[in-house]
């Protein structure tokens, strides 16, 4: 079983390398280099302005530490088919899981310690801590992470004496993390360490219970973990296994009515599909919000207009693949609706989405100076672009898509 | 409407799966399409519903073809696939609304029928559920409800009994029977031979992309030279012969 984990670990590593290579392309590395430099420079400059005794400083450190402890999860690398194929090996899974746990601990501790070290200069300036206190903080956080991963182990053990319903609540990893973080930064670093050790003892007693893998829970947990990894990579490149999650969004019925051409099946499908699918609706709303922030803070009028036009063009570009979103479903090919009606319905969707985004970006172009003339021109330009894109550009692009 | 398949050659890649397939399905008739895995049943159905285009040969519905009269052709058919295919983003209610829109049905007149179907398949309290919450059988029931929402001229049912509970199988057969009474031509592919024997009017036995035999049970028995053989016996014999060939 440990061999199986080793095999999976190397396959997982190869997969990660494949995606990391795509993420860290030349341009991104340069951008990241500058970004990190700017962040470090900004951090140093910020520290110089701070002083001891700020009321919000411990609060910020508690939030930072509690969040930091959530990073670095138990990577079991289990797959859904395992619950069938490896079921006869359930007993032997303990060795597999121990291997996975140790591997995860190493990586998680590195992240925790690095993240804690980043926060230490802030703690020294705002709380006046000496080197011993800083060292205790690092130790407490390291033990805190150990607690967190022990809880993950207990969480996946069928034999734990807690009932499944209570297991989540009693073994709440956030709860322990927050208490440890409060111990460190609200009282003193050694107090945090003591709290962490007490949790460690409690968790250890539970950890010693014979392990029996809760297959469903473990596989769901791993799927969830992998989904978040894939979603991160999906920001940079296409990851085939990433599917946008579906949200009901009852409140969106009004928006769907606006997006739908009455009685058109394709229009109805596109409207609900767009509103409920996180991939497309999320992307469009994020781009709109970023555009609103940018045009709000940019002071040059002409630059606001250019940026508005550019953002609307980008949103249209991101929306175009949605045309084929339902193609994998054979039933859509059985609709007695013509191709031209489908294109028309998609044009309608694009127009309304671009119009809404354009108007919001236009409103934001009012900026902190409140120049309504700039805003008016911005909105007019956005509307013209929405019309041109949906009437001319989209049908042309769809010809290529077809 | 009569479904007429004439000298159909077709498939997915370079090498055709179907080699000169010909048969008819008359109005008010239930024809069972029977064959081993890979014999070409689903490929035939995919050609009939217009997902695949024939390499040669024709498929017509009273003279209508997918190529020449796409909208009219598709308006006349209803399809229940082997594996239920639903939209992740739509609830059960919205699937029904979408079907009504697609087939230009008047919602006011169609909803009572939809509610009847939902009650029949015990889905009436699940109108706001998303497909992710449905079991395989429930998804299949949703597909059946959508297919029977309008009055198709041709109903195509691909392996309908897998995943359905006995009550649902019974109700589906009742609905198929009712459709037959309304002169709907029904083409059903299945492996459940005893049910097929009881309900189908005629059979088309496919082997390796060719029609090995077709006709009523009586005609098939004559071809098999066994007056008392069940469909199961005939099918097994022909399938083995086909494999031996």
- Distance between first and last Cα of chain A: 48
Q: What is the mean pLDDT of residues A126-142?
A: 92
Q: Where are the alpha helices (DSSP H) in B35-182?
A: 41-48, 70-75, 92-102, 107-120, 136-147, 166-181
Q: What is the mean pLDDT of residues A239-263?
A: 80
Whether the CB-CB separation of B185 and B1 falls below 8 Å is answered with yes
3-class SS of residue B80: strand
Distance CA A291, CA A281 (A): 15
At A203-213, the pLDDT tens digits run: 898 888 888 88
Percent of chain A's residues with pLDDT above 90: 43
Binary contact (B98, A273; C-beta < 8 A): no
Task: Name the band, by pLDDT with cuts 50, 70 and 90, for residue A243.
Answer: low
Residue A170 above 60 pLDDT? no
Distance CA A2, CA A4 (A): 5
Q: Is A17 exposed, middle or buried (0-12, 13-18, 19+ CB in 10 A)?
A: exposed
At B141-163, the pLDDT tens digits run: 999 999 999 889 999 999 888 88
Whether the CB-CB separation of B11 and B18 falls below 8 Å is answered with yes
Question: Which chain A residues touch B if contact means CB-CB below 8 Å?
Answer: 243, 246, 248, 263-265, 268-269, 272-273, 276-277, 326, 329-331, 333-338
R_g over Cα of chain A: 26
Selected residue with higher pLDDT from B4 and A169:
B4
Whether the CB-CB separation of B101 and A263 falls below 8 Å is answered with yes
pLDDT at A38: 80
Residue A242 above 70 pLDDT? no
The three-point CA angle A28-A32-A36 to 5° equals 180
3-class SS of residue B55: coil
Task: Name the band, by pLDDT with cuts 50, 70 and 90, for residue B242.
Answer: low
At B22-37, the pLDDT tens digits run: 999 999 999 999 988 8
Segment among A244-248, A257-261, B221-225 with least mean pLDDT? A244-248
Comparing CB atoms, the residue among A272, A329, A336 nearest residue B85 is: A329
- Counting every residue written for chain B, the total comes to 245
Binary contact (A330, B90; C-beta < 8 A): no
The DSSP line for A296-352 is: HH---HHHHHHHHHHHHHHHHHHHGGGGGTTTT-HHHHHSS--HHHHHHHHHHHHHH
Interface test with A, best of B61, B101, B104 (most A CBs within 10 A): B101
Q: Which of B:120-149 have CB within 8 Å of A? A: 130, 132
Whether the CB-CB separation of A176 and A148 falls below 8 Å is answered with yes
Phi, psi for A161 (deg, rounded to 5): -75, -5
Percent of chain B's residues with pLDDT above 70: 98
Instruction: Report residue B30 as tokens.
Output: 């239930």
A-B interface: how many C-beta pairs under 8 angstroms? 62
pTM of the model: 0.73
Which residue is it, tokens 């690398």? A77
Whether the CB-CB separation of A217 and A162 falls below 8 Å is answered with no
pLDDT at A256: 85
Q: Which residues pair with B185 in a beta bridge?
A: B154
The single-letter DSSP state of residue A246 is B
Mark residue B183 as left, alpha or beta (left: phi above 0; alpha: psi -120 to 50; beta: remaining): left
Q: Is A286 exposed, middle or buried (0-12, 13-18, 19+ CB in 10 A)?
A: exposed
Distance, C-alpha A381 to centroid of its chain? 33
pLDDT at B194: 86
Segment among A154-158, A223-227, B171-175, B236-240 with least mean pLDDT? B236-240
Task: Name the band, by pLDDT with cuts 50, 70 and 90, for residue A84.
Answer: confident
**How, if at all, do strands B202-207 and B210-215 pair?**
antiparallel
Binary contact (B49, A334; C-beta < 8 A): yes
At B28-87, the pLDDT tens digits run: 999 999 988 888 999 999 999 988 889 999 999 998 998 888 888 988 999 999 888 899
At B123-140, the pLDDT tens digits run: 999 999 999 889 989 999
Selected residue with higher pLDDT from A242 and B18:
B18
Q: What is the mean pLDDT of residues A330-359?
A: 91
Helix or strand run (H / E) with residue B222: helix B217-224
Segment among A166-170, A358-362, B61-65, B167-171 with least mean pLDDT? A166-170
Q: How many helices (H) and strands (E) does chain B have?
A: 9, 9
> Residue A21 to residues A24, A171, A227: CA-CA distances in angstroms?
5, 37, 19
Q: What are the chain A neighbours of B97 within 8 Å (beta carbons)?
A: 268
Residue A393 distance to chain B (closest CA, Å): 27
Q: What is the mean pLDDT of residues A232-249?
A: 74
Distance CA A44, CA A57 (A): 16
Distance CA B236, CA B245 (A): 14
Whether the CB-CB separation of A190 and A197 falls below 8 Å is answered with no
Whether the CB-CB separation of B152 and B78 falls below 8 Å is answered with yes
Residue A402 above 60 pLDDT? no
Nearest to B214 by CA among B234, B194, B198, B186: B234
pLDDT at B223: 85
- Distance between first and last Cα of chain B: 36
Binary contact (B51, A329; C-beta < 8 A): no
Segment among A19-33, A73-87, A307-321, B27-41 with least mean pLDDT? A19-33
Q: Which residues pair with B206 in a beta bridge?
A: B35, B211
The single-letter DSSP state of residue A91 is G
Mean pLDDT of chain A: 87
Whether the CB-CB separation of A295 and A308 falls below 8 Å is answered with yes
For chain A, say whether B68 makes contact (Cβ under 8 Å): no
Instruction: Report residue A241 as tokens.
Output: 């296994």
Segment among A139-153, A170-184, B37-51, B110-124 with least mean pLDDT? A170-184
Selected residue with higher pLDDT from B43 and A29:
B43
At A382-395, the pLDDT tens digits run: 999 999 999 999 99
Residue A394 distance to chain B (closest CA, Å): 23
Task: Name the band, by pLDDT with cuts 50, 70 and 90, for residue A397.
Answer: confident
Sign of the CA dihedral with B79 first, then B85, B89, and B95 last: positive
Selected residue with higher pLDDT from A129 and B13:
A129
Comparing CB atoms, the residue among A243, A264, A333 nearest residue B101 is: A264
At A141-150, the pLDDT tens digits run: 999 999 999 9
Nearest to B111 by CA among B73, B63, B145: B145
Distance CA A322, CA A280 (A): 7
Q: Is B200 exposed, middle or buried (0-12, 13-18, 19+ CB in 10 A)?
A: buried
Binary contact (A277, B77; C-beta < 8 A): no
Residue A338 distance to chain B (closest CA, Å): 7
Q: Above 0.90 for ipTM, yes or no?
A: no
Q: What are the chain A neighbours of B71 within 8 Å (beta carbons)?
A: 336-338
Binary contact (B130, A269; C-beta < 8 A): no
Selected residue with higher pLDDT from A247 and A169:
A247
pLDDT at B243: 54
């Amino acid at each position: 079983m440990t061999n199986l984990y080793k095999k999976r670990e190397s396959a997982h590593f190869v997969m990660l390398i494949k995606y990391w290579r795509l993420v860290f392309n030349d341009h991104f590395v340069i951008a990241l280099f500058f970004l990190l430099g700017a962040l470090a420079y900004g951090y140093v400059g910020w520290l110089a302005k701070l002083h001891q005794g700020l009321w919000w400083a411990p609060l910020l450190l508690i939030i930072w530490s509690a969040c930091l402890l959530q990073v670095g999860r138990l990577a079991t690398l289990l797959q859904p088919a395992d619950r069938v194929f490896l079921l006869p090996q359930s007993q032997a899974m303990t060795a597999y899981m121990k291997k996975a746990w140790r591997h995860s601990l190493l990586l998680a501790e590195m992240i925790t310690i690095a993240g804690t070290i980043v926060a230490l200069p802030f703690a020294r300036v705002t709380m006046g801590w000496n080197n011993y206190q800083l060292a205790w903080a690092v130790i407490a956080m390291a033990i805190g992470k150990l607690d967190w991963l022990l809880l993950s182990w207990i969480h996946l053990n069928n034999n734990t004496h807690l009932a499944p319903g209570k297991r989540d609540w009693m073994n709440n990893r956030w709860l322990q993390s927050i208490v440890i973080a409060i111990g460190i930064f609200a009282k003193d670093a050694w107090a945090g360490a003591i709290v962490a050790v007490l949790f460690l003892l409690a968790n250890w007693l539970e950890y010693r219970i014979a392990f029996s893998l809760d297959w469903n829970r473990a596989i769901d947990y791993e799927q969830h973990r992998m989904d978040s990894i894939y979603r991160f990579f999906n920001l940079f490149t296409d990851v085939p296994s990433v599917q946008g999650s579906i949200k009901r969004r009852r409140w969106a019925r009004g928006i769907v009515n606006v997006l739908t051409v009455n009685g058109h099946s394709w229009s109805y499908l596109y409207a609900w599909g767009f509103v409920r699918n996180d991939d497309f609706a999320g992307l469009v709303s994020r781009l709109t919000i970023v555009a609103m922030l940018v045009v709000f803070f940019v002071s040059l009028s002409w630059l606001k207009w250019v940026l508005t036009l550019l953002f609307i063009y980008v949103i249209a570009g991101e929306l175009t693949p949605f045309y084929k979103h339902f193609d994998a479903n054979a039933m859509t090919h059985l609709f007695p609706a013509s191709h031209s009606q489908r294109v028309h319905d998609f044009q309608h969707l694009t127009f309304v989405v671009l119009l809404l985004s354009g108007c919001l970006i236009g409103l934001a172009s009012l900026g902190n100076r409140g120049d309504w003339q700039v805003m008016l021109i911005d909105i007019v330009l956005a509307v013209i672009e929405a019309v041109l894109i949906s009437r001319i550009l989209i049908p042309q692009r769809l010809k290529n898509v077809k | 409407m009569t479904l007429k398949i004439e000298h159909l050659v077709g498939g997915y890649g370079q090498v055709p799966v179907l080699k000169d397939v010909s048969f008819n399905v008359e109005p008010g008739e239930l024809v069972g399409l029977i064959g081993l895995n890979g014999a070409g049943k689903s490929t035939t159905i995919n050609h009939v519903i217009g997902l695949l285009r024939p390499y040669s040969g024709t498929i017509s519905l009273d003279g209508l073809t997918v190529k020449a009269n796409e909208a009219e052709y598709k308006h006349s058919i209803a399809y229940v696939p082997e594996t239920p295919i639903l939209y992740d983003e739509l609830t059960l209610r919205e699937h029904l609304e979408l079907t009504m829109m697609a087939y230009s049905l008047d919602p006011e007149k169609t909803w009572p029928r939809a509610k009847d179907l939902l009650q029949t398949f015990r889905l009436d309290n699940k109108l706001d559920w998303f497909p992710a919450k449905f079991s395989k059988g429930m998804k299949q029931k949703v597909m059946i409800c959508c297919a029977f929402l309008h009055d198709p001229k041709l109903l195509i049912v691909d392996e309908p009994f897998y995943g359905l509970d006995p009550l649902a199988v019974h109700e589906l057969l009742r609905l198929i029977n009712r459709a037959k009474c309304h002169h709907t031509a029904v083409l059903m592919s299945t492996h459940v031979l005893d049910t097929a024997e009881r309900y189908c009017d005629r059979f088309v036995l496919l082997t390796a992309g060719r029609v090995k035999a077709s006709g009523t049970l009586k005609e098939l028995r004559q071809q098999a030279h066994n007056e008392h053989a069940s469909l199961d016996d005939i099918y097994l014999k022909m399938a083995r012969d086909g494999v031996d060939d």
